[in-house]
Structure 1
Amino acid sequence: MPANKSGPAPKKKKGRRGRLVAITVVLLLVAGIAFGAFWGVSTVRASLPQTTGSLKLAGLSDPVDVKRDANGIPQIYADTDEDLFRAQGYVQAQDRFWEMDVRRHMTSGRLSEMFGKDQVKTDSFLRTLGWHEVAQKEYDTKLSPSTKKYLQAYSAGVNSYLKDHKGSALSLEYAALDFQNDYTPEKWTPVDSVAWLKAMAWDLRGNMQEEIDRSLMTSRLSEKQIAELYPAYPYKRNKPIVQGGAVNPVTKEFDPKGTAPATQNGAGTGATQGLQSQLSSLSKSLDEIPALLGPNGNGIGSNSWVVSGDHTTTGKPLLANDPHLAPQMPSLWYQMGLHCRTVGPKCGYDVSGYTFSGMPGVVIGHNQDISWGMTNLGADVSDLYLEKINADGYLFDGKQQPFLTRKETIKVADGPSRQITVRSTNNGPIVSDRDDELATVGKSAPVGNAAPDRGDGYAISLRWTALDPGKSMDAVFELNRAKDWTSFRKAAAHFEVPSQNLIYADTKGNIGYQAPGRIPVRGAGDGTLPAPGWDKKYRWTGVIPQQALPWEYNPDRGYIVTANQAVIDEDKYPYLLTKDWGYGARSQRINDLIQSKIKDGGKVSTDDMQSFQQDNSSEIARLLTPYLTKIDIKDKYVRDAQQLLDGWDFTQEPDSAAAAYFNGVWRNLLKLAFGNKMPKELRVEGQCLNVRPANETGPADDLDKFVRECGERAPDMAQPDGGDRWYEVVRKIIDDPTNDWWKTEDRPGHPGDKNRDQLLAHAMKDARYELTAKLGKNIDNWSWGRLHQMFLNNQTLGTDGPGILQGLFNRGPWNVGGGEAAVNATGWNAAGGYGVTWVPSMRMVVNLADLDKSRWINLTGASGHAYDAHYYDQTDKWAKGELLPWAFGEDAVKKGTKDTLTLAP
């Protein structure tokens, strides 16, 4: 799970007075003199939550206890459902209200109200998508009465906290920007909570970027070349989640034991002529939208797996989960337990796990009977449509149709309000209206066979399942109450967006998997390219029936692995889920680790599950290193680096010089073989990769010259991100040494590479000099962790403004191991450098034999307050791969309780 940060990275402009106030506050906070020091300490401490004694909470029917352990993780005990969720709202507001407030302004397209005119463009795009409007419809028309009741109780708890806390008493962020003078948080509403699911769905929406990229590639690459860059999923090597079964053609129900033949719908056609400028602009617009869960969808994935009791040391299932999301401060996740003192009709919850601040219930975790985990399924649930429009409407099926329009007013903190008009077709909102360049779609010189009747351009609309009201909020509470496989599947059927792989285990010993979600059925097209909106053949014809979605229950192999690989072999399934799976590097490694443990009757322990989560093995290193070590390198300085790979076991520990060098080679290989051959629309600003002294064999003086002249920035280049799709691309050509992808163009003074071995040598040389610039000339001092650092940045005040302000809220760096497509997925994007861009945002191992022997960890800590003891008290343990004890039962919680707060009516 999915796709994707707790808020945006906005630029704040509150005028000279506002900035001076902010700087003054900062100086007072850090000054160590007289009254200034006292004032700063009091401001810092003003928002720290009360965790002992008692407080009044209006609306409670009975007292509620909030027990916190040594890490500040709360466990709430109540006698009614409403009391439980009212207290949850209050406690989350204590710890994370700034995060909640920014998040709801993002989901409703109102960031400009907090951060000023620089956020108008972002707000305009978000208003066009209409997340908050859809959330309101869900709340009004779709959600059950009990869900509404819980949302109302949660909101009441948040608002009780807001009533007694203002400005700096809410958080240091409000004090630092002096928001209390011109900004007052409004009351929390149930729709604020529901809208968060739309933000999750946006970051986990599937292949929209791939759809754009493939279209842009048509300007320079042939269909054959594009197909080579998007190879088919390797079903025989990397096992799908569900390894058998079929849909009954009569009942439309999926049968895990079925063998009926399958024929998928859709063909790979679209309408991409003459669209280079507008699709490139759309891609840039998407990059500007705040990425809540990961770096704009790139790399968002997760690991989860469950092993049955037949193969565990406990005799009952063990379930692990670690969602891969953006590193941020605070962590996206919030750990807590929600316990009814007596579970029954009056109070039905006894659940613990991870949730999001601003949302009631538990998203991932376990109750007294079952446990569940999630990974992003990656279903293609969005399509871009090209629209033939004029001032009055759009063309569909040969007839002119009127737009559906609405007006939106965007309030701006440092200026006048702005008004936009949102136009929609029968495919969805026109997203091209939100960009000046997109608004002139098709006017630039066409590339390829452009449609001559579109002199005034196309518009681009978005069809997306999350823009239809659904019942995902119902599903959260139903999962929390589920007692067995049947009730779990019933809850999963309501988890419509975002579409997630759900794994299952229960205390009786059963394991299972369910693919839920609202996944479209297309008429024509397969969702890989933008479609012609004027042609009715490309309309969605419905959604895949819930009963037809793949599932497994107690499979014979005794375990289930989901890590964003293909759900099921497309030859065995009649419906199109997506053409853009993750390629299974992580999932197959987990399969192999489990298989190696259970062969010959071996058993998997809780320690083993934790160890698997830390596996740093690199599949691409295992593939490429034998070729790299055989290259005859003449340059001694490059050869010294090459020798680091001799005997390397392909693991990426923080102190590994071999891992640092290999990943440098991999990044340079991608640039040489593929990056420079991409169309300019795909190019992004890169870093110095292959700037090189003219004397290629020169010793230290040339190295020093290189270090002085390289710098951090280089000309634009189209650099692949280096994910496991590129593993498959290279695997397909590695044994074809004269393949065209290995050939590079001649440059003045630098003849091009003519074959594989020349390009590999070139990449090794460039990596040697790049790492010299970054890590020094002495390879004995190189380490992967020094290149591969994780920073935890506050996603608002920590990403812009004076450095001293950022220093108040940000933490790091940590030198970490792991890497791209490793099980320990500390991902990095080869287009931008080696820094960590996504991480296992939490880790858990649930022991269904004894829930109190389960383990968990968060990336940061329970608190969102910068100088709270629990702001990042779990991070060092997380970086070392450690897990904390996870108390669940009343006795275990009591034993671990450090602070108790009683909330009284």
Structure 2
Amino acid sequence: MKNIKRVLAILGILILILLLGAGIFANTLKPDYKGKKGLSKLTQEVTVHYDAYGIPHIYGENEEDAIRALGYVHAQDRLWQMELLRRIGRGGLSEVFGKDMLGTDKFFLSLGIDDATEETLKKLDMSSKKVQLSEAYLDGINQFIEEGPTPIEFYLTGIDKEPFTLTDIYNTFGYMAFSFAQAHKTDPLLTDIKNKLGVEYLMDLAIDIDPNSTLIKNHNKQPSDSLLGNVMAAVTNALKGLPIPQFEGSNSWVIGASKTKNGKVIFANDPHIGFAQPSVWYEAHLNTPTYEKYGYHLAGVPFPLLAHDRKLAYGLTMFENDDIDFYYEKTNPEDSTQYQTAGGWNTYETVNKIIKVKDSVDVTFSYKKTHHGPILNGIANQIKGEEPISMSWVYTKHENKILDVVYDMSHANNLTEFKAALPNLHAPGLNIMYGDAENNVAWFASAKLYHMSDSVHTKFILNGESGKEELVNYIDFSENPQAVNPPWDYVYSANNQPDSIAGMLYPGYYLPENRAKRIVQLLEPKNDWDRDAVGEMITDVTSAVDPRILLNLYNSVKVKELVDEQIILLDKLSLWNGTYTLNSIEATVYTRWLYFVLKNTFHDELGEEMFKQFLSTHFHKRLIAPLLENKNSIWWNDIRTVDKEETLQDVVHKSYVEAMESLRNDFGNKISSWTWDKVHTIEHGHPIGQVESLRSYFNVGPFPVQGSREVINNMAFGYDGTGKYKVTGGPSTRRVIDFSDVENSMSILPTGQSGNPFSPHYDDQADMYINGEFRKMMMNKKEIEKTAKSSLTFAPVEQ
């Protein structure tokens, strides 16, 4: 017995030592938020005050010193995120995660992001202010890499830390630009539907925009001052494995002085991005005698994409314009190295690349290019040996000035200077939102837009050999959709269709009018807006469109064929106002019902794979409302039944019964338990959290969450047969800036400021975010110094 006790005691001591060692090790990996550090190339001391949520307020005597400190503190909270973002464009994910990422790396290398960056750097003016400040920011990152603790993800994946360069900044922008694009999800699928089923099946798919829907109104008066399914599947599979979220949508509105209680502009913005841990934005407040901005930074990017100061505020949403076109190419049957053009045979360009793969040998691959862009065949396994299809992308066609754009926006002092920055943005297409202390409000659809021939429909794969389906000309920025100080005194964007440009609606992949309609519905009648009312609006969970859709569903049910319980629930649904709260039964039933309507309408013609692809597009959301008002659509008939032609009523009724049965199977007979919180949840996933044993340490959540697809509090999810709606994306921040009281403007992040799992700020905003709460964006130096939780001082180091 004594021996057993002795062994147990020794084991206990060993376990204690291991736990103590693990605790000490973990403690060494925490970000350092206090003390004093030397920082190379610093000219004067910089002080960083951290507020209660770990947001750095950086005070320096000049901007170069302040942004150098920003690089250091950004890296100590987000180096792992920086590492992943810079790797995507250059095909470097396989080196971290192994051969499963080869398809993704091949795809992104073939896009030409890294090659476009190389060409940009050749032309870069290294003496320009934007480059000098970018280099200072990189110096800060690289000093942390040299001297700071290595984030735990580097230990777990076995990769080494390497210095950051200007190449990494531009490659990050390139990934962002492609992340905004939608053509790869839509054009091949629509072409496949046309080829497989016939043109008549395209008529009811809401491909073209209904001019009677809610459009963003222009006001440009200036201030006085198969194979194709395989293509889509290949692209989808390449994007599916990304360990970094994609940009998905967004809301923003700027309310003019005549509509606010205090007679000053109020600015609101919530960009919609795929949820992940860490969340996308890193907040930082920089203050020098000549520069101040409270900004939101992408990992590895020195200048904020969203920001404000006491003079102005700006933000963004996705424009959703069409900046990618696909082309059929024709290979010379006598010489496979050539392809057909209107001017004769051209030679394919062959590009050779090498991909490093974790725990394996390097992989070499090559792909062909035409004057349009890369040939997608052969890049992914799904499309080998078929008719060549190339992809033309605006981003790689023009000189890349996106660093100029973000630098100039962040350094503008007024509307004139701000607007002057925007024509340089060629891709991605963004709605840039603006408001200022001088009571200006503005919206600019910013992108390099182009005209095609009237006979060309860009949502189908085009003919690459004829020369007749090429762009005709680029549109001057002055003709882009925009509104500056419109007479209705507000501007907004919800990724919906802008009004006509020079007499035409510009083609794109716009989201349905749902959020836009609700925004206008709330903004238009009210003229006494204040910060709190806008904060309530930005968390609104009521749909302006779903009750109308539900009414059409309700009117199509065969009530005489229902049993009592089904009738009672149907009556309850008829009173629903479209609000997605956690305790809503109606939201659960409606969403389940709508899925079965879509499945019973489209699955028979499309089949399983194409149906999944269809549900991943924006246009499927747009077609729901008009389709349910169209009793004559060809899609209602089930092609599998030869002795009957189904109607809208048949499909809707069958879907209602199936939805009821499905919910009963999932949650039992007690309808009162069919609440939205049971099915609608959010979990912020970390790449390492995909390992089940590490999930609870790295992921944040899951939480039940109110909201839904296409309400203002847009919690996006993919439809599938599970009946569980795991939220994949939504507001990446919610910001409200009131120019009558800038220092009490408010914001929130989905999880926390830090990406370091050992930081107290890893997930300290998650509950607030779920509950629709806000925190203050502090700008008053005395208040910041008085309430700072810790301070970190950087001092110059003698060279």
Q: Say whether 1:507 aligns with 2:437.
A: yes
Conserved? CA contact 1:617–1:651, under 8 Å: yes
**Cα distance change of structure 1 residues 778 and 519 upon mapping to structure 2, 3 Å threshold:** same
Query: In the alignment, what sits opposite 2:197?
Result: 221
User: Which amino acid is the alignment partner of residue 197 of structure 1?
Assistant: F
Match of 2:700 among 805, 808, 811: 811
Alignment TM-score, normalising by the size of structure 2: 0.92
Q: Is the Cα contact below 8 Å between 1:738 and 1:754 reproduced in 2?
A: no
Q: Letter of the aligned partner of 2:682 in structure 1?
A: M
1:233 is displaced (CA, Å) by: 2.2
Residue 175 of structure 1: CA displacement? 3.0
Q: Structure 1 residues 542-551 or 377-386, which shifts more? A: 542-551
How many angstroms does 1:676 deviate by? 2.6
Deviation at 1:164, TM superposition (A): 1.2
- Summarize the Cα distance change of 1:130–1:733 in structure 2 as closer, same or farther, 3 Å threshold: closer
Match in the other structure for 1:769: 661
Deviations 1:617-670 (A, max 9, x none): 124431133344453152344335434414322201011111111111111111
| Correspondence for 2:648 among 739, 744, 756 | 756
Partners of 2:629 and 2:473 in 1: how far apart?
44
What is the RMSD computed on CA atoms of the aligned residues?
A: 2.5
2:515 equivalent in structure 1: 586
Closer, same or farther in 2 for the Cα pair 1:653/1:187, shift >3 Å?
Answer: same
Question: What's the counterpart of residue 655 of structure 1?
Answer: 583
610, 616, 619: which is aligned to 1:682?
610
Choose which of 60, 67, 73 in structure 2 pairs with 1:85: 67
Q: Give distance in 1, aligned partners of 2:37 and 2:389.
A: 56
Give the conservation status (yes or no) of the 8 Å contact 2:543–2:578. Answer: yes
Matched residue of 1:421: which SS? strand
CA deviation after TM superposition for structure 1 residue 335, in Å: 1.1
Q: Which residue number in structure 2 is paired with residue 170 of structure 1? A: 150
2:305 to 349, 363, 380: 363
> Which residue type is aligned with residue 156 of structure 1?
D
Q: Distance in 2 between matches of 1:385 and 1:32?
A: 65
Contact 1:216/1:280 (<8 A) preserved: no
1:41 to 3, 23, 32: 23
Q: What is residue 604 of structure 1 aligned with on the other side? A: 529
Aligned length: 773
Q: Does 1:554 align with 2:530?
A: no
Counterpart of 1:222 in structure 2: which amino acid? G
Mapped to 2, the partners of 1:434 and 1:834 lie a distance apart of: 32
| Residues 520-559 of structure 1: pairs in structure 2 closer than 5 A | 520-523=450-453, 525-559=456-490
- Equivalent residue in structure 1 for 2:735, among 838, 844, 847: 844
Report the counterpart of residue 8 of structure 2 in structure 1.
none
User: How far apart, in 1, do the equivalents of 2:548 and 2:603 lie?
Assistant: 20
- Residue 793 and residue 46 in structure 1: after superposition, are their counterparts in 2 closer, same or farther (change >3 A)? same
Q: Cα gap change, 1:753/1:627 in structure 2, threshold over 3 Å: closer, same or farther? A: farther
CA distance in 1 between counterparts of 2:491 and 2:732 reads 21
Alpha carbons of 1:737 and 1:278: their partners in 2 closer, same or farther (altered >3 Å)? closer
Is 1:474 the counterpart of 2:404? The answer is: yes
Letter in 2 for 1:720: L
Bigger Cα displacement from structure 2, 658-667 vs 392-401: 392-401
Partner of 2:790: 899
The yes-or-no answer on 1:394 pairing with 2:342 is no
- Using the alignment, how far apart are the partners of 2:271 and 2:788 within structure 1? 27
Does structure 1 residue 67 correspond to structure 2 residue 12? no
Aligned-pair distance for 1:459? 3.9
What is the CA-CA distance between 1:256 and the residue it aligns to? 10
Q: Structure 2 vs 1, CA of residues 358 and 280 (structure 1 numbering), >3 Å: closer, same or farther?
A: closer
Rounded to whole Å, the distance in 2 between the matches of 1:308 and 1:109 is 45
Residues 667 and 722, structure 1, Cα contact 8 Å, conserved in 2: no
Structure 1 residue 502, shift from structure 2 partner: 0.8
Q: Which residue of structure 2 lines up, in the alignment, with residue 423 of structure 1?
A: 368
Equivalent in the alignment of 1:333: 281
Cα drift, residue 526 of structure 1: 3.5
What does residue 719 of structure 2 align with? 830
Structure 2 CA distance for partners of 1:877 and 1:681, relative to 1, 3 Å: closer
The farther-off stretch of 628-637 and 779-788 is 628-637
Q: Which residue of 408, 428, 443 corresponds with 1:498?
A: 428
Asked if the contact 1:276–1:681 (Cα under 8 Å) also holds between the matched residues in 2, the reply is no
1:731 is the counterpart of 2:625: yes
Per-residue Cα deviation, 1:446-479 (whole angstroms, up to 9, x for no partner): xxxxxxxxxxx33434333345331111111111
CA–CA distance in structure 1, aligned partners of residues 622 and 373 of structure 2: 35
Distance (Å, rounded) in 1 between the aligned partners of 2:217 and 2:749: 26
1:412 is matched with which residue? 357
**Native 8 Å contact 2:700 2:751 kept in 1:** no
Change (3 A) 1:721 1:114: closer
From 142, 156, 160, the equivalent of 2:143 is: 160
> Does 2:293 correspond to 1:351?
yes
Give the AA of the match of 1:224: E
Aligned-partner Cα distance in 1 for 2:353–2:205? 41
Tell me how far apart the structure 2 counterparts of residues 223 and 117 of structure 1 sit (CA, whole Å). Answer: 41
The one-letter amino acid paired with 1:811 is V
SS in structure 2 at match of 1:552: strand
- Mapped partners of 2:616, 2:391: distance in 1: 27
Task: State the Cα distance separating 1:328 from its structure 2 match.
Answer: 0.9
Aligned residue for 1:409, secondary structure, equals: strand
Q: Report deviation, 1:156.
A: 0.8
Query: What's 2:7 paired with?
Result: none
- Trace 1:274-313 onto structure 2 (pairs within 5 A): 275-276=227-228, 278-288=230-240, 290=242, 292-294=244-246, 300-313=248-261
Q: Secondary structure at the match of 2:446?
A: coil
Q: Check whether the contact 1:641–1:768 (CA below 8 A) recurs between aligned residues.
A: no
The alpha carbon displacement at 1:538 in A equals 2.2
Name the stretch that deviates more: 306-315 or 637-646: 637-646
* Partners of 2:238 and 2:473 in 1: CA distance: 27
Counterpart contact for 1:86–1:157, Cα < 8 Å: yes
Given candidates 107, 120, 134, the residue that maps to 1:138 is 120
The SS at the match of 2:377 is helix
Query: SS of the residue aligned with 2:491?
Result: strand
2:610 matches 1:720? no
- State the shift of 1:680 in Å: 5.6
What amino acid does structure 2 have at the position aligned with 1:819?
S
- Residue 140 of structure 1 and its aligned partner are, at CA, apart by 2.8
**Paired AA for residue 442 in structure 2:** G
Tell me the TM-score normalised to structure 1 length. Answer: 0.81
Residue 868 (1) aligns with residue 759 (2): yes
Secondary structure of the residue aligned to 2:85 is helix
Letter in 1 for 2:653: A
User: Which residue of the partner structure matches residue 211 of structure 2?
Assistant: 235
Give distance in 2, aligned partners of 1:324 and 1:225.
32
Q: Partners of 1:305 and 1:902 in 2: how far apart?
A: 38
Name the SS of the counterpart of 1:335 in structure 2.
strand
Give, in whole Å, the separation in 2 of the partners of 1:192 and 1:614. 35
Report deviation, 1:55. 0.8
Report the secondary structure of 2:526's partner residue.
helix
Q: Which residue of the partner structure matches residue 668 of structure 1?
A: 596
The percentage of aligned residue pairs carrying the same residue is 24
Contact 1:43–1:175 (CA<8 Å) still a contact in 2?
no
**Matched residue type, 2:420:** K
Change (3 A) 1:746 1:683: closer
2 CA distance for matches of 1:847 and 1:128? 45
2:798 pairs with 1:856: no
* Residue type of the alignment partner of 1:60: L
**In the superposition, relative to structure 1, how do residues 458 and 191 fare at CA in structure 2: closer, same or farther (>3 Å)?**
closer
Q: Separation in 2 of the partners of 1:737 and 1:395? A: 45
Q: 2:446 aligns with which of 493, 499, 516?
A: 516
Alpha carbons 2:369, 2:390 under 8 Å: kept:
no
* Structure 2 residue identity aligned to 1:683: F
Does the residue aligned with 2:283 lie in a helix, a strand or coil?
strand
- CA gap of 1:151–1:255, structure 2 versus 1, over 3 A, is closer
The answer to whether the 8 Å contact 2:104/2:238 transfers is no
The one-letter code matched in structure 1 to 2:480 is: L
1:380 maps onto 2:322 in alignment: yes
Contact 2:187 2:459 in 1 (8 A): yes
Matches within 5 A, 1:82-231: 82-142=64-124, 145-165=128-148, 169-177=149-157, 179=158, 183-231=159-207
Comparing 94-103 and 277-286, the one that deviates more: 277-286
Cα separation, partners in 2 of 1:415 and 1:551, compared to 1, 3 Å: same
CA contact (8 A) 2:177 2:395 kept: no
What stretches of structure 1 move > 6 A for 4+ residues in a row? 254-257
Q: In the alignment, residue 172 of structure 1 is paired with which amino acid? A: I
Kept in 2: contact 1:438–1:459 (CA 8 A): no
